[in-house]
Amino acid sequence: MIIIITFPSINDKLIYGKGVIKINSKHNKETKQIVVKAYHEGVCVSEIVKQFDIPRSTVYSWIKAHLQSENYQKESRLGDYHKLKEKIKKQEIMIEILQRAYGASELPVRQKLYFAESIYSEYSVHAICDALLLSRGTFYNHLKRNKRYNAWYENWI
């Protein structure tokens, strides 16, 4: 991807006291914005350097300044938020499809409990119980009590 844009050099000067200070002696704000935008669109820095005849270090300093600017951070946070929100929706739909496909809602509770116990060391209790449509309290009671037989009945006899 090659972008050909030329801007005339600007030699603005500001008289400050006795000395003269140059402001943007070579590059104006639009040039900086175009360079940074080209970088974010995937144009490699070496192409930008050739295209605009700007030192590589200058390009990287503009990119760094843009990344640290408040506007960019707000835009990226908002964009990340929307991307994550869409990703969550998609994963919730995938989970629902998998639960229907494997019949998690139709399995007997005892079968769910034994399966949950087998993967208990690999995943969090919240994730297991949410995926199997199982109450966490039921799962914890299953772990706490003797699972192989009906404990309350055996103690009662």
Q: How confident is the model at residue 63, as a pLDDT? A: 87
The amino acid occupying position 59 is: V
pLDDT at residue 1 greater than cutoff 80: no
Q: How confident is the model at residue 154, as a pLDDT? A: 53
The average confidence (pLDDT) of the chain is 76
Place of tokens 């199997």: 132
Which of 2, 1, 50, 6 has its CA nearest to residue 27?
6
Among 17-21, 63-67, 78-82, which is the least confidently predicted range?
A: 17-21
pLDDT at residue 2 greater than cutoff 50: yes
pLDDT at residue 66 greater than cutoff 70: yes
